[in-house]
């Protein structure tokens, strides 16, 4: 859309939707900062998104009676919310006099209001104590899954003769299959179409791939890793075990998601699957040390012991170490 194109109803609806989402995502408090000027009749100038927001909370009903030298509270349309206006400092040079701190007898409410509208901060006032994080910090895998906007790539078109999908996309597709315990049909069964490609294609598109060759490459690379796991002796143990996929944990030190928790006659095991392309066992060990994967799975074991009350061994399973499966199991606990 160029600058001369009139704003369509569709654009207007999208703007309203974005404002609604932005204003309703807050879980505890919503702080709004904007700038207004009084008109001759005392009403406020409201432009853009502030005009829409102001019509909801009551900024459009405020009438100023002369200049305002100290912060003032105004009633709002929404119950339990106060609208605060602050005068803007007119100082433009370092030597210009600065406003004095607001005294305790200024017309600020006794308790911090639940919502604010600020017309600049001409004085330094602590409105709220810093909010402590409401949830523990997430691990890298959880941050990627919960990213807003979601982790994705847009319109990836490979220039190579044999396109390859981004490694993180392949990892995402493989983990989607492991989560659902969905594998390609065995070749010897002779199914001409096992539905696996159709199952994975939407996840590839959701990740941002649009080029058919890239999508096909992502699906086929994922198929290869999953077929490799299915052919490994460990698969029979996993396939018949009591399994719990995508187990969430929450500790004071952090939170995250465990790929797989399963039980055998020998006890409980935690598995973290890695799809990194690795050339040797030595490189796999180096990656574990560099990326601290060993500490990661140790934290998983601590979470299981803390939250569920039993000990579990841990296994790191690399699905692509020189074209083979490579595992590292923790010592007995």
DSSP notation for 221-258: HHHHHHHHHHHSHHHHHHHHSEEEEEEEEEETTEEEEE
Residue 153 has pLDDT above 60, yes or no: no
Residue 178 has pLDDT above 60, yes or no: yes
Closest CA to 184 of 232, 149, 225, 215: 225
Please tell me the predicted confidence (pLDDT) of residue 136.
64
What Rg, from alpha-carbon coordinates, does the chain have? 29
Residue 94 has pLDDT above 80, yes or no: no
Q: Which residue reads 């500790």 in tokens? A: 251
Please tell me the predicted confidence (pLDDT) of residue 259.
96
The 8-class DSSP code of residue 107 comes to: S
Q: Average pLDDT, stretch 129-157?
A: 58
Residue 248 has pLDDT above 50, yes or no: yes
Q: Average pLDDT, stretch 260-281?
A: 95
- Other C-beta atoms closer than 10 Å to the C-beta of 233 total 7
d(CA 15, CA 9) in angstroms, rounded, equals 10
Task: Flag the least confident range among 103-107, 133-137, 261-265.
Answer: 103-107
Closest CA to 221 of 271, 272, 158, 269: 158
Task: Flag the least confident range among 159-163, 182-186, 287-291.
Answer: 159-163
Which has the higher per-residue pLDDT, 192 or 171?
A: 171
Residue 89 has pLDDT above 60, yes or no: no
Closest CA to 268 of 329, 183, 319, 182: 329
Residue 252 has pLDDT above 50, yes or no: yes
Q: Average pLDDT, stretch 107-117?
A: 38
Which has the higher per-residue pLDDT, 82 or 111?
A: 82
The residues pairing with 119 across neighbouring beta strands, listed in sequence order, are 34
pLDDT digits (tens, 9 = 90+) for 21-62: 777 777 666 777 777 777 888 788 887 777 877 777 777 888
> Cα-flanking dihedrals φ and ψ of residue 138, to 5°?
-90, 155
Output the CA–CA distances (angstroms, integers) from residue 96 to 25, 71, 90, 99, in the order listed: 40, 21, 9, 10
pLDDT digits (tens, 9 = 90+) for 278-290: 999 999 999 999 9
DSSP secondary structure letters along 122-190: SS----SPPPPPSSPPBPHHHHHHH-SSPS---SB---SSS----HHHHHHHHHHHHHHT--PPPGGG-
Going from the N-terminus, what domains does the chain have, and what CATH number goes with each? 29-90+107-132 (no CATH), 140-231 (no CATH), 234-329 (3.90.320.10)
Closest CA to 176 of 147, 149, 206: 206
Please tell me the predicted confidence (pLDDT) of residue 251.
83
Residues 25/30/33/37 CA torsion (nearest 10 deg): 110
Most confident of 63-67, 186-190, 241-245: 241-245
* Whole-prediction pTM: 0.57
* 97: confidence class by pLDDT, cuts 50, 70, 90: very low
Positive or negative torsion for Cα 97, 100, 106, 109: positive
């Amino acid at each position: 859309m160029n600058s001369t194109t009139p704003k369509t109803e569709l654009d207007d609806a999208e703007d309203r939707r974005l404002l609604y989402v932005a204003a309703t995502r807050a879980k505890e408090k919503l702080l709004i900062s904007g700038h207004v000027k009084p008109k001759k009749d005392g009403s406020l100038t409201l432009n853009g998104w502030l005009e829409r927001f102001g019509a909801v909370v009551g900024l459009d009903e405020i009438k100023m009676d002369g200049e305002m030298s100290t912060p003032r509270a105004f009633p709002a349309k929404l119950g339990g919310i106060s609208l605060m206006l602050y005068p803007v400092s007119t100082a433009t040079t370092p030597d210009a006099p600065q406003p004095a701190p607001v005294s305790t007898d200024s017309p600020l409410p006794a308790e911090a209001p639940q919502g604010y509208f600020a017309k600049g901060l001409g004085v330094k006032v602590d409105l709220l104590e810093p909010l402590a994080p409401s949830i523990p910090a997430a691990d890298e895998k959880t941050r990627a899954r919960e990213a807003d906007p979601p982790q994705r790539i847009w319109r990836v078109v490979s220039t190579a003769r044999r396109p390859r999908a981004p490694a993180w996309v392949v990892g995402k597709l493989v983990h989607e299959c492991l989560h659902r315990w969905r594998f390609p049909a065995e070749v010897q069964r002779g199914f001409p179409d096992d539905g696996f490609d159709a199952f994975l294609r939407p996840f590839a598109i959701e990740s941002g791939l649009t080029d058919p060759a890239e999508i096909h490459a992502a699906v086929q690379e994922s198929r290869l890793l999953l077929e490799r796991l299915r052919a490994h002796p460990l698969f029979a143990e996993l396939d018949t075990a009591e399994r719990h996929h995508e187990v969430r944990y929450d500790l004071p030190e952090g939170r995250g998601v465990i790929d797989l928790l399963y039980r055998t006659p020998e006890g409980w095991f935690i598995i973290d699957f890695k799809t990194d392309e690795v050339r040797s066992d030595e490189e796999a060990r180096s990656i574990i040390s560099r990326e601290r994967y060993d500490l990661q799975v140790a934290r998983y074991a601590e979470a299981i012991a803390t939250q569920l009350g039993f000990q579990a061994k841990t296994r790191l399973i690399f699905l692509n170490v020189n074209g083979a499966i490579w595992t590292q199991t923790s010592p007995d606990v």
